[in-house]
Structure 1
Amino acid sequence: MNDRSLSRRTLLAATTATAATAAVAAGAGSASADEDAGASRDRLERLISRMSLEEKVGQLFVSRVWGHSATEPEQAYVDLNLRDFGVRSAAEMVAKYHVGGIIYFAWADNAREPRQIADLSNGIQRAGLAQPTPVPLLVSVDQEHGAVVARIGKPATQLPGAMALGAGRSRGDARSAGRIAGAELAAMGVRHNYAPVADVNVNPANPVINIRSFGSDPNATARMVSSQVRGYQSADVAACAKHFPGHGNTSVDSHTDLPSISHTREEWDRIDAPAFRAAIAAGIDSIMTAHIQFPALDPSNDPATLSRPILTGILREELGFDGVVVTDALNMQGVRTKYGEARVPVLALKAGVDQLLYPENLALAWNAVLEAVRKGELTEARLDESILRILRLKEKLGLFRDPYVSHREVDRTVGVPRHLAEAARIAERTTTLLVNKDGLLPLNRRRHKNLLVVGLDSRPPNQYNPRPIAALRGAFADLGFSATALPFEKSPTPAQVDQAVAAAVGKDAVVVVTYNVDAASGQRALVSRLMATGVPVVALAVRNPYDIAQLGDVPAALASYGWSEVELTAAARVIAGRVEPEGRLPVPVPRADDPSTALFPVGHGLRYDD
């Protein structure tokens, strides 16, 4: 019997026939509607009492794994699993380490296509229910949507990212996007999504948050975060607000170093806290920590992930959050800078963390926690406290009642026409028109039939992140234009700028795709030289809306806030006049020559009928 052929009923029959699943049914069945919280707690505590210490430690970990199948990954991934974890497959990892969760990545071959993802989830759940103390797993993913952080691609519905939604300013759209994303994830057996981002991007130089944030206004961000939380959780997927206590004002990437936030406590209350307060008020199931120093909140300068004053003192006691606290990935340099790798998981638990996400060396981290309990640095009671929160979330999601999914659910939910149509409608309300001199836009198929689409195209091609130049060329072709694509892998050299100028000859208009333009970027010369040809130039910033400040007197400029296919298609339709530009800047764009002054303020955005 293989994963792909198992229906929901067959899966349930196969698992309930085992003694392991019978134990789950007897000791940890899902609470019926009329059972109170006390009965649920008692039942889950009885389940915890049957766990060995090794099983308890495992429940705290969420690990990655290589391969598309829980039991039969391809040989290359078997070799990688043996190298990284000492096991051959996800099922063997669950058996050896008793992990409470698995996180999926496309690069690890976990996310080929929706039915495969569902089969992988089912295989992982069978492994969880085959343990001595049977417990379903919490399968998670980073699916923020947009172009920067997305792990599951087409045919699953692709949706605009956070800053694009912030530009759309619609709480209803934010909630709908969360509901659609949540429904599709749940159909594939993914019940924990590390979204939405609750950070307020007040620093245009932020290298890691940026368009992953809804914007720079704390109250607007809070409203969008609470709407997304309600959207995800209405689809029975646990949402996760991140990165507490707030990663929006950093100029350092915590993947590679340890950033420090200079906000005062008053500034934290005013800028960073509102979105997390709103998420908690909306019933958020989990909150992710940040690998940042925040001296005003903890003068020890420990990373927030390892800070008891921040996680227990503020998040638990002041804000009243009693859901699951999960670390950001423990393989990131920001959390490993100050302490050795074996100390990090122990210190995180002492700080108040419940789930330990993605340690670089699972065996080292797992054994470090085990040893800390045996030596008395951590108590089993402390572990039980976190395990109870984790099991409570699994119960809330119905995983004890039925952890399995089916191909039928996938086919009737993932990438269905109503979801695709709604995603397109949402995206069309996000594209922001920043400049439109002399009414250049919208382009007209009669006057601007022949287009050149040129610019930076360096993002790697994969199932969830198209190359923007080719995607835009195709979108314009679908709209009746004759479009030629000229992509550059890196910021264009002088020779490549000459090539673009030559290609513009005879064209009716040029659409230039820009990506993170700075003062030294060859993209500035590209736009300037193209404008000098006399051919109308339209600049489309596909990441930061801040690009326009570096482009001089460009005739027309727009921001799409991402290069996912749905965002690029929407931008093309706006440029072609098929829909009105409705987006408004959710962040200010500072002047290049005076960053303290706004070139365009929050709320700026033009319409064709202005």
Structure 2
Amino acid sequence: MKTRLVIATVLVATLGATLTPLPVQATTAAPAALPPAAEHGWVTSTLRHMSLEQKVGQLFATYVYGGDATAPTAADRAANRAAFGVETPAEVIEEFHLGAICYFSWSHNLDSPRQIATLSNGLQRAALSAGGKDRVPLLISTDQEQGVVLRMPAPAAQFPGAMALGAGRSPGDARTAAEITGRELRAVGIHQPYAPIADVNVDPANPVIGVRSFGADPTLVAELTAAQVTGFQRDAGATAVAKHFPGHGDTDNDSHTDLPVINHTREEWDRIDAPPFRRAIAAGVESVMTAHIVVPALDPSGDPATLSPTILSGVLRGELGFRGVIVTDALNMAGVRQKYGDERVPVLALKAGADQLLMPPDLRLARDAVLRAVATGELTERRIDESVRRILALKYRQGLAASPLVDVEAAVRTVGAAEHLAAVARVTDPTLTAVRNDAGLLPLASTDRSVLVTGWNSAAFAPVATVADGFAARGARATARPATLPSDQAIATTAAEAARHDLTVVLVNKAWDVEVTDPRASQRRLVAALLATGRPVIVVAVRDPYDVAYLPGVSTYLATYSYTRAAMDALVRALHGELSPRGRLPVTIPTADGGLLYPYDHGLTW
């Protein structure tokens, strides 16, 4: 598969090289080296009174189980006990003097605005109590990239993700999405959205980035990355986190399960991967997340970037001038654990220049390893102080020294506010991309028809039902038949049903990725069976736009880049001619054998 991807990569790299270069001053701009006097005073005073154990605790960010700080469910108590040796989220913070917490749905932290805000306040009280007279508030984070990676459930505003915004081409819309996302997060006590993605996705077979990237052109990605940094930080007061340095866009391996190698030359890295991070730094980004990838052109040692002094201290801090907080990607990922043991990884990350150590697989082992490294002299307390000072300064700039708690009732009013949801629709509409309309089927001429909506579905978002409901609201006789990974019998049954309808709309999700999405390639076989009925078929990629290359015979194809309700609403309106598609491909789509199927910037309208 990699051979065909090189062609697509070269095409995009060549295209990117023809666009307006970034300003030279963006390579050196950075936040001021010396903090304001009040910040400096609080940071210095707090640091001076902290024990070594408290300082080391500030370096760690991890999950905790439970939706309440002191009264989690019995199952969450058991999970905390197994992971941390104590039962409640508050006790985890107190035991390890934690500096940060990361929320997830699977750890039962995210239910409703009221619950999340209450949890945040409970965790902050635990952190302040644990510090004694030296009250050190928490940083709280979550992966709220939007699109296919979002943690805050409805009623939170669910904006299109990065590649959709790339298709829309609007820095203003990207900034709006970040601002409203940041405001809603801050309302419930979350400070770091772990966004935006600054990776340039030049490999269509990238299994982990894909639509999480703004696209394949470095200039576009840089512009939208900077816009979101501004939206998060200047407009919403949240901490933007540009990730994944030095660039995770050109690999067909997933660092969650492997250690990818990026074989860009130094010139290619400067031209393709570096521009978004340069622009993020120029925009004042306060945090950068590392990638568990090997980049021989930057560091020939074979160490992942997360553990590389050459990349973190040399390139990111030295060459690019970044002075903010460097946070590692999760340390429980395979990419950072393959070469060294879990006891060595946190020590090596700190020696490389990282400040925040995210989700080590064994928090106690990691904490004790850092303490032992200080005791033996491998790490100095001065080195620990450097990172703690950056973390405390970030907390001060977040306003946490003065006001660590949130207003729960204000959070309920803010999250999912009517004006936020209206902005979601406004931002989503221009992102829909019509890729193929060879038969001239669209826009649909009549609503008086029977329609089958089938294909990939999500229990959380129910895109199949949303599309079917949209047809029904316009007078069609619509049937929803989810078929996410259908068996051969289910494919035959669905095709037989399609033959009895006037039109079929089928949703696909990463149909190109046989190994990850469906070992039996059932999505492809479903589409082929639907086409074989001879009835009109509309294929919609609700994630990667690359699927069309693996679906021969498709004559009508659109890309939404995500499956949120707003994306599906825009799709239905476009199919009926109520919305003119305006999105343009932010990536090239190669053929299955490495040729060019659709170029960057392609997009139809009506």
Same fold at TM > 0.5: yes
CA distance in 2, matches of 1:42, 1:411: 35
Q: Which residue of 2 aligns with 1:469?
A: 464
CA distance in 2, matches of 1:89, 1:452: 48
Q: Show the 5 A alignment for 1:143-158.
A: 143-147=144-148, 149-158=149-158
Cα deviations across residues 333-370 of structure 1 (Å, max 9, x unaligned)?
10000000010000000000000011111111111111
Q: Show the 5 A alignment for 1:196-215.
A: 196-215=196-215
Gaps of 5+ in 1: 1-34
Q: CA deviation at 1:38?
A: 4.1
Supply the AA of the counterpart residue of 1:243: H
> Within the alignment, does 1:602 sit opposite 2:597 as a pair?
no
> Within the alignment, does 1:49 sit opposite 2:43 as a pair?
no
CA distance in 2, matches of 1:266, 1:452: 50
Supply the AA of the counterpart residue of 1:513: L
> Within the alignment, does 1:59 sit opposite 2:58 as a pair?
yes
Q: Is the 8 Å Cα contact of residues 39 and 397 (structure 2) preserved in structure 1?
A: no
CA distance in 1, matches of 2:368, 2:427: 47
Q: Show the 5 A alignment for 1:11-50.
A: 37-50=36-49
Cα deviations across residues 286-330 of structure 1 (Å, max 9, x unaligned)?
000000011110110101000000000000010000000000001
Q: Is the 8 Å Cα contact of residues 447 and 474 (structure 2) preserved in structure 1?
A: no
Supply the AA of the counterpart residue of 1:156: A
Moved more, 551-560 or 235-244: 551-560
CA distance in 2, matches of 1:80, 1:470: 35
Q: Is the 8 Å Cα contact of residues 162 and 214 (structure 2) preserved in structure 1?
A: yes
Q: Which residue of 2 aligns with 1:493?
A: 487
Moved more, 570-579 or 423-432: 570-579
Q: CA deviation at 1:43?
A: 3.1
Q: Which residue of 1 aligns with 2:94?
A: 95
Q: Is the 8 Å Cα contact of residues 428 and 574 (structure 1) preserved in structure 2?
A: no
CA distance in 1, matches of 2:114, 2:387: 32
Secondary structure in structure 1 of the residue aligned to 2:269? helix
Q: Is the 8 Å Cα contact of residues 445 and 480 (structure 1) preserved in structure 2?
A: no
Secondary structure in structure 2 of the residue aligned to 1:429? helix
Q: Is the 8 Å Cα contact of residues 187 and 409 (structure 1) preserved in structure 2?
A: yes
Q: Which residue of 2 aligns with 1:300?
A: 301
Cα deviations across residues 444-472 of structure 1 (Å, max 9, x unaligned)?
4435x321011123x4x23xxx2332232
CA distance in 1, matches of 2:473, 2:111: 27
Q: Is the 8 Å Cα contact of residues 454 and 464 (structure 2) preserved in structure 1?
A: yes
Say if 1:407 and 1:504 are closer, same or farther in 2 by CA, change over 3 A: same
Supply the AA of the counterpart residue of 1:541: A
Secondary structure in structure 1 of the residue aligned to 2:431? coil
Cα deviations across residues 525-563 of structure 1 (Å, max 9, x unaligned)?
322332232211100011110111122232211001111
> Within the alignment, does 1:252 sit opposite 2:253 as a pair?
yes
CA distance in 2, matches of 1:526, 1:107: 31
Say if 1:478 and 1:98 are closer, same or farther in 2 by CA, change over 3 A: farther
CA distance in 1, matches of 2:53, 2:556: 61
> Within the alignment, does 1:394 sit opposite 2:395 as a pair?
yes
Q: Which residue of 1 aligns with 2:369?
A: 368
CA distance in 2, matches of 1:93, 1:550: 48
Secondary structure in structure 2 of the residue aligned to 1:538? strand
Q: Which residue of 2 aligns with 1:358?
A: 359
Q: Show the 5 A alignment for 1:446-457.
A: 446-447=447-448, 449-457=449-457
> Within the alignment, does 1:509 sit opposite 2:503 as a pair?
yes
Moved more, 466-475 or 158-167: 466-475
Q: Which residue of 1 aligns with 2:547?
A: 547
CA distance in 2, matches of 1:510, 1:36: 60
Supply the AA of the counterpart residue of 1:169: R
Say if 1:74 and 1:254 are closer, same or farther in 2 by CA, change over 3 A: same
Q: Is the 8 Å Cα contact of residues 114 and 409 (structure 2) preserved in structure 1?
A: no
Q: CA deviation at 1:483?
A: 1.5
Q: Which residue of 2 aligns with 1:83?
A: 82
Q: Percent identity?
A: 53
Say if 1:587 and 1:363 are closer, same or farther in 2 by CA, change over 3 A: same
Secondary structure in structure 2 of the residue aligned to 1:433? strand
> Within the alignment, does 1:283 sit opposite 2:288 as a pair?
no
Q: CA deviation at 1:39?
A: 4.7
Q: CA deviation at 1:36?
A: 6.7
Q: Which residue of 1 aligns with 2:67?
A: 68
Q: Which residue of 2 aligns with 1:165?
A: 165
Cα deviations across residues 551-610 of structure 1 (Å, max 9, x unaligned)?
223221100111122222222221222211111000000012x31x211001000001xx
CA distance in 2, matches of 1:270, 1:440: 41
CA distance in 2, matches of 1:40, 1:523: 55
Q: Which residue of 1 aligns with 2:317?
A: 316
Supply the AA of the counterpart residue of 1:119: T
Moved more, 353-362 or 478-487: 478-487
Secondary structure in structure 1 of the residue aligned to 2:465? helix
Gaps of 5+ in 2: 1-33, 515-519
CA distance in 2, matches of 1:81, 1:411: 28
Q: Which residue of 2 aligns with 1:139?
A: 140
CA distance in 1, matches of 2:289, 2:447: 52
CA distance in 2, matches of 1:531, 1:591: 20
Secondary structure in structure 2 of the residue aligned to 1:366? helix
Q: Is the 8 Å Cα contact of residues 195 and 242 (structure 1) preserved in structure 2?
A: yes
Moved more, 497-506 or 315-324: 497-506
> Within the alignment, does 1:481 sit opposite 2:476 as a pair?
yes
CA distance in 2, matches of 1:65, 1:56: 20
Supply the AA of the counterpart residue of 1:117: I
Secondary structure in structure 1 of the residue aligned to 2:538? strand
Q: Which residue of 2 aligns with 1:25?
A: none
Q: Which residue of 1 aligns with 2:13?
A: none
Supply the AA of the counterpart residue of 2:90: A
CA distance in 1, matches of 2:310, 2:526: 50
Q: Show the 5 A alignment for 1:540-579.
A: 540-579=540-579
Q: CA deviation at 1:101?
A: 0.5
Supply the AA of the counterpart residue of 1:393: L
CA RMSD, Structure 1 to Structure 2 (Å): 1.4
Say if 1:435 and 1:478 are closer, same or farther in 2 by CA, change over 3 A: same
Q: CA deviation at 1:166?
A: 0.5
CA distance in 1, matches of 2:195, 2:436: 32
Q: Which residue of 2 aligns with 1:237?
A: 238
Supply the AA of the counterpart residue of 2:511: V
Supply the AA of the counterpart residue of 2:304: P
CA distance in 1, matches of 2:262, 2:583: 30
Q: Is the 8 Å Cα contact of residues 536 and 555 (structure 1) preserved in structure 2?
A: no
CA distance in 2, matches of 1:568, 1:446: 17
> Within the alignment, does 1:342 sit opposite 2:336 as a pair?
no
Q: Which residue of 2 aligns with 1:123?
A: 122
Q: Is the 8 Å Cα contact of residues 58 and 97 (structure 1) preserved in structure 2?
A: yes
Q: Which residue of 2 aligns with 1:106?
A: 105
CA distance in 1, matches of 2:39, 2:506: 58
Say if 1:545 and 1:575 are closer, same or farther in 2 by CA, change over 3 A: same
CA distance in 1, matches of 2:355, 2:476: 54
Q: Which residue of 2 aligns with 1:591?
A: 591
CA distance in 2, matches of 1:575, 1:153: 28
Q: Is the 8 Å Cα contact of residues 436 and 555 (structure 1) preserved in structure 2?
A: yes
Secondary structure in structure 2 of the residue aligned to 1:353? coil
Q: Which residue of 1 aligns with 2:411?
A: 410
Q: Is the 8 Å Cα contact of residues 146 and 567 (structure 1) preserved in structure 2?
A: no
Secondary structure in structure 2 of the residue aligned to 1:558? strand
Q: CA deviation at 1:401?
A: 1.0
